Chain A
Amino acid sequence: MTAFFQSHGASYEWAWFFSMLIGILAIALPLMLAVAMIIYAERKIWAAMALRRGPNVVGPFGLLQSFADGLKVFLKETIVPTSANKGLFLLAPIISFTVALIVWAVVPFQTGVVLANINVGLLYILAASSLGVYGVIIAGWASNSKYPFYSALRAAAQMVSYEVSIGFVLICVVLYAGTFNMTGIVEAQRGNIFGVLNGFGFNPLLFPMAVVFLISSMAETFRTPFDLTEAESELVAGFQTEYSSMSFALFWLGEYGNVILMTALNAILFWGGFLPPVNWAPLYVIPGIIWLLIKMMLFFFIFGWVRATVPRYRYDQLMRLGWKIFLPLSLTFVVLISGWLMLTRYGALPA
């Protein structure tokens, strides 16, 4: 797109600036719409699993429910507690929201359709997602209130624990793909299994890692079996307790933005991203972004399903799962996979 602006007489720098701006808007605006619709979808899924109707009043089939909620939240008064640390209190939701958005810069929607095709894409995702915890910690501390603070401490410990196993899972993927570039990782999955199936997840060596990543991504986004940070029965609403109005809504948008991101990452890293599941020419007629969206929706259904059916972990169980099960398991698989690749792909050890 930079070339398009340059052909209309803009200098390279301005052309780059405008094309970036358009690219960012083209990702962020549909994402916000997707968040609204996905909240509706998730409430419908939960309702179906609890034999209820779910939102069905605002608009046809209740489709506009999220927009009504958004408008309500938008019109409310922003309350800042008197003993809160005002600047940080207002900064926290902004950090949460921004961090949830910036990761999308490296997500490939199609070959070449990506905002920033950088060669450390996966590391960028790790870096950006490790920033997410600051929104929660700062919110908890700045609220100057007991429950948010407990929640912040829990969130910090949880994030740090699960990031370790996520890191090792990502190393497995990188070892197999041979690159950190996101598009490269997807392309490496083309015909990955005997030239027929597209996706690392179909590989028996990587399938356990796909499962570990799915579970860890639920822990990373503080979804229900792992939502110790906002456990209603213990901590009121966790770090969001003192928040109202738009500052609350930003947390909410950020949380669901992260959930959509995690579904996208599951699809991209293990299930072929924008490639169809089977490497068969007629399937490539359907554009890649449709395949990606189908996979994301499938994962989102799994996320909603788990949230509707699985009870919450206890905190020590959460830590046990992260440190005593996922960490040794993923570490073992790093060794197994590098051994397998040395055996099959790289041959004998270099002299």
Chain B
Amino acid sequence: MIALLAFYLFATLTIASAVLVIFARNPVHSVLWLILGFFNAAGLMLLTGAEFIAMLLVIVYVGAVAVLFLFVVMMLDIDFSQLRSGFNRNLPFGLLIALVLLSEIVIAISAYSAGPAFAHASGAPPANALPNIEALGAMLYGQYLLPFELAGLILLVAMIGAIVLTHRSRGDARPQKVARQIRRRPEDAVKMAKPAVGEGVSL
């Protein structure tokens, strides 16, 4: 019964926060509702026994991606009236996306209720099965090693590409060279001088 209560709690909150993402007047509030939505989705995944995915969802999406979203949205100087002006223009497009998503959900649910497509792919994991992490690890590093590594490589290339494209070195910048600072000894920089009275010091 507790699991059922938790399911309805998480499900209601997920839907409510998803709705509020759209209807919140302030974009920062929208992002915060989105974060709440992520969080409750993680709760739902916990209930289905996918604890590893749930934790990853919180770490990656809530902990990193959404922080950057929030970061960007907070720093934007947004004119609210201008933001809402495009509503009618974008309405058909939005409706189209909504329709596609709705039909996908309907198809997915009806396909799921028709029974598993493959003999071994049942819905819920059997009790006392391998822990999530081990099962996923065996899959990713065994059966799907090549696609997994390729995906990693593509992401790495994308990351390097993004840095190369945006990095611009200014010629006149003089960054701190820590190694040079540490290497510097007193003898290089300090000269002891004992000038006699009336004589100057040559610099």
A and B pair up? yes
Give chain A's interface residues, CB within 8 Å of chain B: 13, 16-17, 85, 88, 118-120, 123-124, 126-128, 130-131, 133-134, 137-138, 141, 149, 152-153, 156, 159-160, 163, 180, 316, 320
Q: For the complex, give the distance between the alpha carbons of A4 and B131 in Å.
A: 29
Known contacts A138-B32, A320-B178; is A123 also within 8 Å of B71 by CB?
A: no
Is the pair A130, B64 in contact by a Cβ cutoff of 8 Å? yes
Q: For the complex, give the distance between the alpha carbons of A176 and B65 in Å.
A: 29
Known contacts A137-B70, A160-B64, A163-B63; is A120 also within 8 Å of B52 by CB?
A: yes
Q: Which secondary structure dominates where chain A touches chain B?
A: helix
Per-residue interface assignment for chain B, residues 140 to 183, with 1 indicating a CB less than 8 Å from any chain A CB and 0 otherwise: 00000000000000000000000000000000000010100000
The size bracket of the interface on B is: 20 to 34
Q: Which residue of A lies closest to B56 (CB)?
A: A123
16 A-B residue contacts at CB 8 Å?
A: A88-B29, A118-B51, A119-B131, A126-B55, A126-B63, A127-B59, A127-B62, A127-B63, A131-B58, A133-B67, A137-B67, A137-B71, A138-B32, A153-B71, A160-B68, A320-B178
Contacts of A130 in B (CB 8 A): 58-59, 62-64
Contacts of B9 in A (CB 8 A): none
* Minimum distance in angstroms from B155 CB to a CB of chain A: 15
Within 8 A of A (CB), among B33-59: 35, 51-52, 55-56, 58-59
Is the pair A160, B67 in contact by a Cβ cutoff of 8 Å? yes
B74 within 8 A of A: yes
Contacts beyond the supplied A126-B63, A127-B58, A134-B35: 12 A-B pairs with Cβ under 8 Å? A13-B1, A119-B132, A127-B55, A127-B63, A130-B63, A130-B64, A133-B67, A137-B74, A149-B74, A156-B70, A159-B67, A180-B133
Q: Which secondary structure dominates where chain B touches chain A?
A: helix
B20 within 8 A of A: no
Q: Which residue of A lies closest to B175 (CB)?
A: A316
Contacts of B11 in A (CB 8 A): none
B2 within 8 A of A: yes
The 5 lowest CB-CB distance pairs between A and B, nearest first, are A130-B63, A127-B58, A123-B55, A127-B59, A119-B131
B13 within 8 A of A: no
Q: Which residue of B lies closest to A118 (CB)?
A: B51
Q: For the complex, give the distance between the alpha carbons of A138 and B26 in Å.
A: 14
B18 within 8 A of A: no
Is the pair A120, B133 in contact by a Cβ cutoff of 8 Å? yes
Contacts of A17 in B (CB 8 A): 2
Contacts of B59 in A (CB 8 A): 123, 126-127, 130
* Minimum distance in angstroms from B1 CB to a CB of chain A: 6
Contacts of B176 in A (CB 8 A): 316
